[in-house]
Structure 1
Amino acid sequence: MTSGENMNIRRAQNKDAEKIIELLNQVLELHAHIRPDIFVSGTTKYSRKELLEIISDDNRPIFVATDEKDDVMGYCFCVLMEQPKKEYMVQFKTIYIDDLCVDKAYRGRQVGTALFDFVKKYAKNLGCYDITLNVWEGNECAQRFYNKLGMRVKETNMEFIL
C-alpha cells in the first residue's frame, strides 16, 4: 500500500465493487459522448459478476486510490501480459492499463498521477519492459494527462467506417 496526503493505493477488494461500477459508468458515458456509434450510454464495460472475477485475478490487478475513510477516489485496471519470443521479436513482459478513472469529485488532486506512479513501481518490480494503454481519439483530456506522465505514442490504430 502506498500513502500520499490522505490517499492510499491498494488492490481492489469486493467491498469496492459498487464504487468501481459507478466509475466505470463515468468512463462509459465519456466514451459514449465521443463515439455514440460504438458505445451504449447507461451501461458499463464490466458487469458486477465480471468485476468480482477480475478483482480476484492476480494477472489482472485493479488498484484503487482511497481517501482517509477508505472511500474509492479512482481506480486503475491492469493486465499483466507477456510477449513471447519470436524470430522477429524479443520476449518481454508488459502491463496494459485497461482502464484508469478518477471520480469527477476528486479530479485535479493528483489521484490519477498517484495511481500511475504506483503502477510504474508495480510493473518495475515485476520486471516489465513497459506500460501500455489505449486512448480513444477525441479524449484530449486523457491524451494530455498521459503525455504529462511521459507516455508516448507506440502505435496508431486506425479505422475506415463503411
Structure 2
Amino acid sequence: MWNNEKCKIVVAIDSGRIIGYSIFSIAPKKEALFMRGGDYLDIDEICIDKDHRRQGIASSIMKYIENYAKKIVIERIVLNMWEFNEEARSFYEKSGFKTYRRYLERCI
C-alpha cells in the first residue's frame, strides 16, 4: 500500500497517538450493462480506537475523504462492510451511503 500511488492512508492523531485511520484508493470501473463506469474512491477500511468512538473522528475522516474526492474530481465513494456490523452500517447510512448491491453466501 505504501508504494501504490493510488492508495491513500489518512490518520487521526491525538496527543501524538494514532486514534483512527482510513485506507482508501482510486479504483477504475468499466461500464457494464447494469453499472456505470468511471473512477471511484474505494474505502478499504475506517477504524477508530474504541475509546475514541462517537467523538466525531470518523466523521472528520469521512469529510477528508469527500473533500479529496472533490479535489480530484471523483463523484463516487464506495465501500464494503460486514452485514453484522450494525454500528458501522449506522454510521455509513448517517454519512449518506446507501446500499448499492449485496453479496450473499451459503455455507454447506
> How is 1:6-25 mapped onto 2 (pairs within 5 angstroms)?
none
- The secondary structure found in structure 2 opposite 1:83 is coil
- The secondary structure found in structure 2 opposite 1:55 is coil
After superposing on structure 2, the runs of 4+ consecutive aligned residues of structure 1 that deviate more than 6 Å are none
Give the whole-Å Cα distance in 2 for the aligned partners of 1:90 and 1:159.
25
Q: Does 1:57 align with 2:57?
A: no
> How is 1:52-91 mapped onto 2 (pairs within 5 angstroms)?
54-67=1-14, 69-85=15-31, 88=33, 90-91=36-37
Q: Percent identity?
A: 27
Structure 1 or 2: larger helix share?
1
Give the whole-Å Cα distance in 2 for the aligned partners of 1:103 and 1:90.
35
Q: Does 1:154 align with 2:100?
A: yes
Q: CA RMSD in A?
A: 1.5
Give the whole-Å Cα distance in 2 for the aligned partners of 1:109 and 1:97.
21
Q: Does 1:137 align with 2:83?
A: yes
In the alignment, structure 2 segments of 5+ residues that lack a partner are: none
The amino acid of 1:158's aligned partner reads L
Structure 1 or 2: larger strand share?
2
Map of 1:20 onto structure 2: none
**Which has the greater radius of gyration?**
1
Distance 1:76 1:91, change over 3 A: same
- The secondary structure found in structure 1 opposite 2:47 is strand
Q: How far off is 1:82 after superposition? A: 1.1
Q: Does 1:111 align with 2:49?
A: no
Aligned length: 107
In the alignment, structure 1 segments of 5+ residues that lack a partner are: 1-53
- The secondary structure found in structure 2 opposite 1:161 is coil
Q: How far off is 1:108 after superposition? A: 1.4
Give the whole-Å Cα distance in 1 for the aligned partners of 2:84 and 2:65.
25
Give the whole-Å Cα distance in 1 for the aligned partners of 2:100 and 2:89.
13
